[in-house]
A = this chain, B = another copy of it.
Amino acid sequence: MSVQPQVGTLNDAELWRELGQQLRVDSIRCAAVPKSGHPTSSMSAADLMAVLLAKYLRYDFDQPEDPRNDHLIFSKGHASPLLYSIYKAVGAVSDEELLTFRKFGARLEGHPTPKIPWVDVATGSLGQGLPIAVGVALAGKKLDRLPYNVWCLCGDSELAEGSMWEAFEHAAFAGLDNLIAILDINRLGQRGETMHGWDLASYTRRAEASGWAAIEIDGHDVGAIDRAYEEALSITGRPTVIVARTIKGKGVEAVENQPGQHGKALDDPEGSIAELGGERSIVVDVRKPEGDAQPHTFETSSLELPTYESGKDVATRKAYGDALLALGKGRGDVVALDGEVSNSTHADEFAKEIPERYFEMYIAEQQLVAAAVGLQVRGWTPFASTFAAFFSRAYDFVRMAAISRANIRLSGSHAGVSIGEDGPSQMALEDLAAFRAVHGSTVLYPCDANQTAKLVAAMADLDGISFIRTTRGATPVIYDAGEDFPVGGAKVVREGDDVTLVGAGITLHEALKAADALAQQGTSARVIDLYSLKPIDGDTLREAVEATRGRIVVVEDHWPEGGLGEAVLAALAGTELQFAHLAVREMPGSGTPAELLAAAGIDADAIAAAARKLVSAAAVAH
């Protein structure tokens, strides 16, 4: 059965209702092929999207890169059947392609990703779309200075995620009246009712308390939806949330408002489609953005990286701040964000001198990373910083950013036991493992200020997720300012042929001290600065172990798992080695950096002892 309404004869409300039914029908159809997906979660929001599409969205589907386009983000990414049905309704995707949903190799995946040109970011881990939308809206208001709007469809289950309320807070604080959140309050989560069911006021109260305008509507009343969007666009100075009471599975009695119908194709797609009035083929001519405004660009001067004199003591976190400022001065696309610790990460240098491209994200690391992802959607080059330990708070956002093919740069300061007195809660000891295990990531760990500056500059042009780990304490500058540090490289800091010592960051300096001590005893240690953990310079490592008869000591201010030690073993996989791995193996406490490095067995003495053991064991063996 197929109904083809005479679109020309319908009034607006009739058209919207028909379009809503079409989106439902198509959501059911595409889930019917793989027999999986989330049609009922799509059906609840169909009317909300129909009116948006037909009247309010400004988007050129032929030019998804047009900077004037609105943004439509499905925070409830599992409603992908609805999103893909929208793409069909606007003529961007054929009916044939719609039915490739969830097929191997298809771009219409189970949850949206930017393999689809009209998708800004991957969603599917709930609670991330709205914080990212905040980032896009920040870009619109503060950077691009273009009048596009950011529309974000949210589910009610995901409103239990604290990250959503970080976004509510931040959007209101930043006055983002270009952001409209649409809450699809269909009452039912995956396994039952949400905390608040259809108590719309529970959401409205909290949104208003955060400073948003809130409009409660029946999410299936197209007239009410129309009025809500119109009102939302008229509100200035603050974001608007439309709190819509909807019915999950709306329109098909067998699943409508029923528990146990989440994330399943409908049992009887044909009957359900008939119940909805059959297939339609309405094509919506979405209005294109108007005017010829172009994104704002920022004036810049020349890019002059900071340089440091050899032998001076400079913390790499300070060099990060200096280099970030230099990049910001030299490149108008570079923007900075920090999680309320900019006086520790040294992002404050950028904040003070380039406030118009600095975003204070307060102590909300999920929003910090999400904002960075949102800013890069619009082509900006974000650097986000906090203590390395606290990026663990945003690990799911980093994971998803990789699926978003996002280009973001993260700087984590205060790594390892070498921070000293503050104790383990502030010590990143798992960050290298966590960041290495992010798809396509780059993981850098400089030991000196000149190296840091060069690596920070390189990060600006890296794709994907890049992470730089900096050190709290001041360390000697060991490299000339002219030296280059390619990403994926390693430096032989000292030649030697008895044993190889591999360190990075703080432990590189300990390794150098150990090499001095060993030299005095006649042992010649090669010292390798493994400043690039991923990609890793396997050639330099292989040469070293060959030159030092397989003897290698790897030392890291990190737990033993997933950091330098395992990265080196992976790079040398299968090579016969006399391998010593010095890492933090017991829970540290407070103390001076020197005490804690010694207690963890990762200081110069421990390195020299491990090296001696390898050399003397070999001597005994021969």
Contact with B along A102-125 (1 / 0, CB 8 A): 111111011101010000001111
Do the beta carbons of A426 and B110 come within 8 Å of each other?
A: yes
A45 within 8 A of partner (CB):
no
A446 within 8 A of partner (CB):
no
Bound CA–CA A400/B426 (angstroms): 10
Min CB–CB distance A500 → chain B (angstroms): 13
What are the residues of chain B within 8 A of A5 when measuring CB–CB? Answer: none
Do the beta carbons of A589 and B106 come within 8 Å of each other?
A: yes
Do the beta carbons of A111 and B426 come within 8 Å of each other?
A: yes
A274 within 8 A of partner (CB):
no
Within residues 436 to 473 of chain A, which ones have a CB less than 8 A from any CB in chain B?
436-440
Bound CA–CA A567/B434 (angstroms): 15
Do the beta carbons of B160 and A111 come within 8 Å of each other?
A: no
Within residues 567 to 589 of chain A, which ones have a CB less than 8 A from any CB in chain B?
567, 569-570, 573-579, 581, 587, 589
Min CB–CB distance A104 → chain B (angstroms): 3
Do the beta carbons of A573 and B562 come within 8 Å of each other?
A: no
Q: How many copies does the complex hold?
A: 2
What are the residues of chain B within 8 A of A348 when measuring CB–CB? Answer: 191
A503 within 8 A of partner (CB):
no
A399 within 8 A of partner (CB):
yes
Which among A160, A209, A362 has the highest number of chain B CB atoms within 10 Å? A160
Bound CA–CA A570/B567 (angstroms): 10
Closest to A156 in B: B363
What are the residues of chain B within 8 A of A421 when measuring CB–CB? Answer: 34, 36-37, 102, 110
What are the residues of chain B within 8 A of A534 when measuring CB–CB? Answer: 561
Within residues 294 to 339 of chain A, which ones have a CB less than 8 A from any CB in chain B?
none
Do the beta carbons of A592 and B160 come within 8 Å of each other?
A: no
What are the residues of chain B within 8 A of A561 when measuring CB–CB? Answer: 433, 436-437, 534, 562, 566-567, 570
Decide: A399 near B389, CB < 8 A? Known: A341-B191, A363-B158, A590-B106: yes
What are the residues of chain B within 8 A of A227 when measuring CB–CB? Answer: none
Bound CA–CA A589/B439 (angstroms): 13
Min CB–CB distance A86 → chain B (angstroms): 18
What are the residues of chain B within 8 A of A360 when measuring CB–CB? Answer: 192
User: Number of contact residues on A: which range applies?
Assistant: 35 or more
Do the beta carbons of B392 and A399 come within 8 Å of each other?
A: yes
What are the residues of chain B within 8 A of A106 when measuring CB–CB? Answer: 589-590
What are the residues of chain B within 8 A of A253 when measuring CB–CB? Answer: none
A166 within 8 A of partner (CB):
yes
Do the beta carbons of A579 and B573 come within 8 Å of each other?
A: yes
Do the beta carbons of A396 and B393 come within 8 Å of each other?
A: yes
A390 within 8 A of partner (CB):
yes
A559 within 8 A of partner (CB):
yes
What are the residues of chain B within 8 A of A565 when measuring CB–CB? Answer: 570
A488 within 8 A of partner (CB):
no
Min CB–CB distance A204 → chain B (angstroms): 9
Partner of A590, one of B77, B104, B400, B422: B104
Bound CA–CA A389/B104 (angstroms): 21
Bound CA–CA A192/B355 (angstroms): 15
Min CB–CB distance A214 → chain B (angstroms): 11
Min CB–CB distance A192 → chain B (angstroms): 8
What are the residues of chain B within 8 A of A209 when measuring CB–CB? Answer: 202, 205-206, 208-209
A157 within 8 A of partner (CB):
yes
Do the beta carbons of A115 and B426 come within 8 Å of each other?
A: no
Q: Top 7 nearest A-B pairs by Cβ distance?
A: A162-B162, A124-B425, A104-B591, A433-B437, A576-B576, A562-B562, A205-B209
Instruction: Give A contacts to B, CB under 8 Å.
Output: 34, 36-37, 77, 102-107, 109-111, 113, 115, 122-127, 157-158, 160-166, 169, 173, 189-192, 194-195, 202, 205-206, 208-210, 340-344, 348, 360, 362-367, 389-390, 392-393, 395-396, 399-400, 402-403, 421-426, 429-430, 433-434, 436-440, 534, 550, 558-563, 565-567, 569-570, 573-579, 581, 587, 589-592, 595-596, 599
Known contacts A160-B340, A430-B438; can you find 8 more A-B pairs with CB under 8 A?
A36-B422, A109-B424, A124-B425, A160-B166, A162-B366, A189-B362, A570-B581, A574-B578
Can you identify 11 A-B contacts, CB atoms within 8 angstroms? A104-B596, A109-B423, A113-B425, A122-B425, A124-B424, A125-B393, A157-B340, A389-B396, A399-B430, A433-B436, A561-B562
